[in-house]
Structure 1
Amino acid sequence: MEDAARTPLDSRIGHGVVDGCKHETRMVGIAPFGKAAALALLAGTMAGLWLPTFMAAGYLFAIAPVAGIAWWRGRRGRWMGPLLGGFVLAGLHGANALAIQLPPALEGGDFEVSGRIVDLPDHQARRTSYLFRIAQDHSQPEPLRGRLVRLSWYDDFDGSPTGRDRLRAGQEWTQQVRLKAPRGLRNPGGADSEKHALARRLVANGYVREPGAALLRRDASGLHAWRESMADQISMSIPSESGRFIRALALGDTRLLADEDWRTLRATGLVHLVAISGFHVGLVSGFFALFAGAIWWVLPSLARRLPRPTAAAIAALLGAAGYAAIAGFALPTVRTVLMIAVIAGLRIFRRRAGAFDSMALAAIVLLLADPLSVLGAGFWLSFAGVAWLVWCLPDAGRNPLRDLFSAQGVATLGLLPLSAMLFGEASIAGPLTNLLAVPWWSLVVVPLSLLGTALEAMQAGLGGWAWRAAAWCFAPSWSLFERVAQSPFSLLWLPEPRWFALPLALLGAFWLLLPRGLPGRPLAVLLWLPLLWPARNLPAPGEFELQVLDVGQGLSVLVRTSNRTLLYDAGPAAAEGFDAGERVVVPSLRALGVGQLDRVVVSHGDNDHAGGFAAVRAAFPTEDVIAPQGAGIDGSTTCVGGEEWAWDGVRFRFLHPPKYFPYLGNEASCVLRIEGDHGSVLLTGDIGDVVERDLVRRSREDPAATVAADVALIAHHGSGGSSDPSFVEATAAEMALVSSGHGNRFGHPRADVVERWRLHGARVSGTAEGGALVVHMGAEGPHLETRRASHPRAWDAARRLEQAAAGPPAGLSYRPD
């Protein structure tokens, strides 16, 4: 058995004992838990999740036995087992996560629920958001029992006994809430919140209807309550601004980090070091293993009861689990703990395995436990990072300084393709800043932060000195990194690439990291071109492209010619923290490869059109801004009906407002007509029916002021006060586009308005259903693509809503008996 314990894991598969004698059978095919099996399981999982729709459960259950038999009993075709198994598990988990979401018939309904706050509430100016686990009992609404929802509590911090400043992690409440199924915006380069909700098994989003009537049933208790109290102690112990970072490093609490902090971290490539990550968990695990090994070295008699390698493995696992608990068992930490548990288990049971074998087994365990984990970027970055380091630095440990530089170089080259594909950016300064931050923060700041937490847990007030020391060590480095981040060359934004760009770039990275002396290595850079410089597919001269971005209840339209770019409106910016300019418009422009905006038109000053302009202007400085006089847009010139210009064979003309027209809000909106060689578009802002009828009159008097267009933007998001019948008829549009928020409280677009456009021959499409709308005005005439149709996802909420039967109207009341 001692020989077996020392035999590598893969080669040991196929050994057995018969009549007390060891024999060996020749291995055919792949090991059931080896590297090839892990890759096949991952491929099957990806296939199951990235299909346009999940396969029916009946078919999946029929495939499952075949997958199990092929995996366990197969030989040459054993890879089919994990491949089919991953496909089945991913389909079942994904379909179940989608099925438990709030049914469409109950969306917009009021529910009285009781449950527990299961994370740290995020307090903002007028809103507090938090995860709420609904109680598992029969008094709760049947579709929500035991489920996880994200709630928002709206009011101001006023110190009242019923204010949201009383919300604490670990509390139990009874609240009346209004819920809807998780749904997000769909744009180029934008975050996919529906995917995130699916991975978290989030069933609904909503808000507390009557905050004053909410009832606190039990005060804060449990792990998250302890974490929040520790976070408060850190803030009181550290008067400097560094306290927010010590909270993040010690507890994984990033609530106090501002947007500017995150921008600095992204620009310097240090995001992975701030919140508690898998890297930190592995570091703490290593410290615990070394500490246990030192004790066994000092007291060798302990080895009689427990071998030192086994003790070190157990200590490593306990340290990792404890640190993950401090972080609230965030997904990256849980994934790392699971990986450490697999490696520790192999050591405890004396099963020798190489680094890649251990990684393969950890990946198999993780995918079997939660196949939806592949939807998160952390899964790919953690496994890919370890794999690159193990492959390129198999002899690490002999020269720590050289290993540090080598590891940073390998991580930069190896993870750049993934980072670019996942986040659309690459930190140029990251390799240099990590050389300083990794050893300094990880070996000095983090240990001091954890020491303070441990001392504070033993006795209140004991950990303050360690936290202050951590802040004192952290502050100088952060000042340096802030200066680095301000450089325009610190961060490279990359356009959205095609699907084949990532495998080509990974192949190029593999080629570059091959041993020195291999001929042709510089040619590997060519394989990165589809990722770093993808084709932008710009219109030809005389043609143009229209992108109506999905900004919710607002408007933002991007117009591109062959060499110029115009932005019409920038979406809303809410006081609660959502800024469509920052969260939607800017990422979309970068994903589309827009380097600068040649002109910005703000149709009028209302927040849903102009709110995001400040964020857009900060990211894309431009002096050419046009808005109605009196709209309050700093540095803008006035749009006047009759003014026109031409770009790349495309003609632009303002139709409204006329000269000396007073600013009347919606009625003063800049109306812009765009005409190319193959069609025209009319952008209408928020004008009402009075202005529409006046435009029709002027159109009849002056052919140059015509409102006729192949594509028309439905005014004021499809409200009842716009789309006058004479205006709809005069446009003669074959496409009518509407920008509105899904399930918005105004009921936009109105059903009668949509029907009016359809009766006059227009095909109506909206951002609420299709996500971002792209209209190509090419030689074949107007061609429309919606983001949801061109990038289908199995978890697409729109698909589920379209397939669902019509239910009761929104606003129904649902309370337990």
Structure 2
Amino acid sequence: MSRVLDSADHATDAAFPIFGKACVVSLLAGICAIIFSPRLLPMEWGVAAAAVGILLWILPSRLRLLGAALFGLGWAAFHGHAGLAQQLTPGSAAVDHVLHGRVVSLPDHGPGGTRFRFRVDEDPAMPTRLRGRDLALGWYDGFRGAADDRRRTLRAGERWSLNVRVRPPRGLVNPGGFDAEGYALRQRVAGSGYVREPARAHPLGEPAGLPAWRERMADAIARAVQDDGRRFVQALALGDTRGLGQADWDDLRALGVTHLVAISGFHVGVVAGVAALLAGGLWRCLPIAGLYLPRPMGAAAAAVAGAALYAAAAGFALPTVRTVLMIAVVATARCSRRRATVAQSLSLAALAMLLFDPLAVLAPGFWLSFAGVLWLIWCLPGREQGWLRGFLSAQGVATVALLPLTVALFGQASRAGPLVNLVAIPWWTMVVVPLALLGTALEALIEGAGRWPWQLAAWCFDASWWLFGYAARSELSLWWLPQANRWALLAAVSGVFWLLLPRGSGGRVAALLLCLPLLWPARHGPGEGEVELLVMDVGQGLAVVVRTRRHTLLYDTGPGTDDGFDAGERIVVPTLRALGQGRLDRIMISHDHRDHTGGLRGVRRSFPDAVVQAPQGALRGRASACHAGQSWAWDGVTFRVLHPLPGEARSINDSSCVLRMETARGAILLAGDIEKGSEARLLQQAGALLAAEAVVVPHHGSASSSTPAWVDAVAPRLAIVSAGHRNRFGHPRAEVVSRWQAVGAEVLNTAESGAVRIWLGREGLQVREQRVFERRWWDAAERSRSAAILSAIKQAAAGPED
């Protein structure tokens, strides 16, 4: 019996090695099951799953794959709880602290302030929850100097004493929007905030360390290269993308080459290869070196060192770290005289990354880089073909195979990308990047020696960028796609797998059909006579998308800030793209206030043909006037402007355009920022038209609006407040919320619900909260609610106090 068991165990070891590809896939599956679930496995269960899983994984057993998956479950749960524990308590109020620490990122100096990462000192004098943690800070209103007029600019690597107001990480949640809370968790950011009382801020030490060196190199490039190409040389040499504006990123996305500008793993591999060749040449020139270290080992060590140095210059960005791990695996196998295939190296690199940080699966780059190499291994398994044919084949496979992931992760694909990459990859990687790195290496050795390589790199880049500019600005270059569900992604990946099977496999049409749910998703828009609203989560401001069957209106465009934030670019346009809106018929600005007009420029850039309406004189000739008495009908829905009266001069808030949308099932009211005076005027002039099924509460729930008479006249079933989380105005006021609830309305706040989507049609009034619809265990609002419920349960269990 023992011999039978031994042979079975031996067969298991042979079929599923501990660090084999099958075990790595099982580990990844277990990690993904936790990371992408709406709830996080309790810590106790996670520890138990990891303990059982590691035993089943390591010991010879037929359950080895199950053990790897169980360990993945527990390991991901452990890191998830550890990441959340590093952050400030969700829902807690902002608190002021005087903190000592170091600037660990390259400060991004914008027109209205500076953003930077700040690592608090491991000092007993520092607050316990912040000690040794990273904060994402902004320094506004005088960040270039203090009261003594030193005009000192914040530098990377400096130690500072700062008076900071910090709060837990909190993000806006919209369809197709950026997941700021997930990013903070992935980057291990404990909180965010801003510098208060700049006059009290003072440096504690000179710049030091890797961040300081990177900034010195970036400044040297800026001094050496005077034309526009310097920002791209900084990005390619150092991963410093601070100089790239929104227009640059738009062009890069349209061309499908963002992976080449932010230092890519391919660039790191090229550097490692060059380092290995140089080391091999050195060993040939100095044969005596072979007596101490064989040439293959020296080349392998040089490859790892070169890759690690380039990754350090890039600030150890995730794509570079993955590539360094892969190169280290291959080098270790070479030095141990073991043959490692590309697939084995890839699986070991994935294993190292997942063991080091299972939260890396939240990063789009993790999937794009590993999936890209995996597809190439599977489709081009060492075929003997010329370099040109091989390059074209690899480009074709990457374009087709990564299309589902690109669409699912970014909601877009570049039509020009396949052609542009044929030129950009060899030219930038083989010419521009080596010149940029040569300049950096020379500058590190001798000050001023990097000037000519950097200038030549900028000239070579500009030569190609001039050519690519025409393609980037073409309307056909970028393909926007509506947001689809996860099952559509799985179907599309299966379809691509089927499509790339060897010739003769058949079923090509069926393979293409599997891709349709992702590339052409079903759109469940409103029908005839129905209306749909999406009140976006824009913070302290307002932006509402109104859709009928064939028309779309945007009511307000969200806020804009002095530090360059534009809600139109960052929130409104991506949300419209995620909804599948390629056209915008009308933009109505309620009134001229930055919380409502701040995103107009970004929206107009993407939708230049939309008609703009605003109160008379609000936008100084850039819009037609909206006034009471105007009406129009779209697809069986009637739109009426109830306020302001033509030619009436009122305050900015009280001049807001009030819009009513009428259907056979009721009406919806958008009231802008009207206050008590305009509410009283509307009660007199249009009292019968105020009743509505749903209303966007005036002025974000301010005490200056929502008078009792107005609330009674509207009497909605749903009242939506668009306000920032813990905003300084205290919106919405508690008495205002109570007033709406007293007439039977459910009150939803975008600060807690995220974007709120409502439908009014044949099935009556329906509502969906984005934070509830897309539950994520790191969501701050969800964690706050869970903590409040747990606290209430504990208090109830404890019973009343004596």
TM-score normalised over the length of structure 1: 0.93
Q: Give yes or no for the alignment of 1:769 onto 2:756.
A: no
CA contact (8 A) 1:603 1:685 kept: yes
Deviates more, 1:612-621 or 1:505-514: 505-514
CA contact (8 A) 2:49 2:73 kept: no
Q: What does 1:98-177 align with in structure 2 at a 5 Å threshold? A: 98-104=84-90, 107-156=93-142, 165-177=152-164
Distance across 2 between alignment mates of 1:24 and 1:108:
59
Equivalent in the alignment of 2:798: none
Cα shift readout 1:79-117 (whole Å, capped 9, x = no counterpart) = 111111111111111111112211247531101110000
Equivalent in the alignment of 1:202: 189
Distance across 2 between alignment mates of 1:366 and 1:158:
39
Q: CA deviation at 1:24?
A: 7.1
Distance across 2 between alignment mates of 1:249 and 1:693:
61
Q: What does 1:176-575 align with in structure 2 at a 5 Å threshold? A: 176-299=163-286, 302-395=289-382, 398-575=385-562
CA contact (8 A) 1:28 1:76 kept: no
Q: Which one-letter code corresponds to 2:514 in the other structure?
A: L
Q: CA deviation at 1:209?
A: 0.6
CA contact (8 A) 2:142 2:198 kept: no
CA contact (8 A) 1:67 1:81 kept: yes
Q: Which one-letter code corresponds to 1:539 in the other structure?
A: P
Aligned length: 784
Distance across 2 between alignment mates of 1:653 and 1:407:
57
Distance across 2 between alignment mates of 1:616 and 1:331:
32
Please state whether the residue corresponding to 1:69 is helix, strand or coil.
helix
CA contact (8 A) 1:682 1:711 kept: yes
Q: CA deviation at 1:329?
A: 1.6
Distance across 1 between alignment mates of 2:505 and 2:152:
63
From 589, 597, 602, the equivalent of 2:576 is 589
Distance across 2 between alignment mates of 1:230 and 1:273:
20
Distance across 1 between alignment mates of 2:760 and 2:488:
27
Distance across 2 between alignment mates of 1:365 and 1:339:
9
Structure 1 stretches lacking a partner, 5+ long: 1-13, 17-22, 808-817
Equivalent in the alignment of 2:794: none
Please state whether the residue corresponding to 2:129 is helix, strand or coil.
helix
Equivalent in the alignment of 2:17: 31
The 3 A distance-change label for structure 1 pair 637 and 430 is: same
Cα shift readout 1:434-453 (whole Å, capped 9, x = no counterpart) = 11111111111111111111
Q: Which one-letter code corresponds to 2:72 in the other structure?
A: G
Please state whether the residue corresponding to 1:130 is helix, strand or coil.
strand
Distance across 1 between alignment mates of 2:315 and 2:301:
21
Distance across 1 between alignment mates of 2:300 and 2:28:
27
Q: CA deviation at 1:331?
A: 2.3
Equivalent in the alignment of 1:754: 737
CA contact (8 A) 1:163 1:212 kept: no
Q: Which one-letter code corresponds to 1:495 in the other structure?
A: P
Distance across 2 between alignment mates of 1:796 and 1:377:
19
Please state whether the residue corresponding to 2:565 is helix, strand or coil.
coil
**Identity in percent:** 52
The 3 A distance-change label for structure 1 pair 720 and 32 is: same
Q: Flag the structure with more relative contact order, 1 or 2, with Cα contacts below 8 A and sequence separation at least 6.
A: 1
Q: Which one-letter code corresponds to 1:723 in the other structure?
A: S
Q: CA deviation at 1:308?
A: 3.2
Aligned CA-pair RMSD: 2.0
Q: CA deviation at 1:351?
A: 2.5
Q: Which one-letter code corresponds to 1:438 in the other structure?
A: I
Distance across 2 between alignment mates of 1:514 and 1:174:
60
Deviates more, 1:634-643 or 1:240-249: 634-643
From 54, 58, 68, the equivalent of 1:68 is 54
Q: Which one-letter code corresponds to 1:642 in the other structure?
A: G
Cα shift readout 1:37-77 (whole Å, capped 9, x = no counterpart) = 11111111111112212121112122222111111125332
Deviates more, 1:667-676 or 1:64-73: 64-73
The 3 A distance-change label for structure 1 pair 609 and 741 is: same
Please state whether the residue corresponding to 1:231 is helix, strand or coil.
helix
CA contact (8 A) 1:605 1:633 kept: no
Q: CA deviation at 1:614?
A: 1.4
CA contact (8 A) 2:533 2:545 kept: yes
Q: CA deviation at 1:802?
A: 2.2
From 33, 36, 43, the equivalent of 1:50 is 36
Deviates more, 1:768-777 or 1:46-55: 46-55
Distance across 2 between alignment mates of 1:756 and 1:679:
22
Distance across 2 between alignment mates of 1:699 and 1:243:
60
Deviates more, 1:165-174 or 1:390-399: 390-399
Structure 2 stretches lacking a partner, 5+ long: 1-5, 791-802
The 3 A distance-change label for structure 1 pair 628 and 24 is: closer
CA contact (8 A) 2:155 2:212 kept: yes
Q: Give yes or no for the alignment of 1:90 onto 2:73.
A: no
Please state whether the residue corresponding to 1:655 is helix, strand or coil.
strand
Cα shift readout 1:649-705 (whole Å, capped 9, x = no counterpart) = 1111111112222252110111011111222100000000111122122234xx4xx
Q: CA deviation at 1:305?
A: 3.7
Q: Which one-letter code corresponds to 2:125 in the other structure?
A: S
Q: Which one-letter code corresponds to 1:648 in the other structure?
A: D
Distance across 2 between alignment mates of 1:549 and 1:452:
47
Q: CA deviation at 1:772?
A: 0.3
Distance across 1 between alignment mates of 2:245 and 2:720:
36
Distance across 2 between alignment mates of 1:397 and 1:276:
30
Q: CA deviation at 1:343?
A: 2.1
Please state whether the residue corresponding to 1:151 is helix, strand or coil.
strand
The 3 A distance-change label for structure 1 pair 24 and 715 is: closer
Please state whether the residue corresponding to 1:694 is helix, strand or coil.
helix
Q: Give yes or no for the alignment of 1:671 onto 2:658.
A: yes
Q: CA deviation at 1:182?
A: 0.6
Distance across 2 between alignment mates of 1:186 and 1:769:
10
Q: CA deviation at 1:192?
A: 0.3
The 3 A distance-change label for structure 1 pair 163 and 511 is: farther
Distance across 1 between alignment mates of 2:127 and 2:34:
31
Cα shift readout 1:446-496 (whole Å, capped 9, x = no counterpart) = 111111111111111111111111111111101111111011001101110
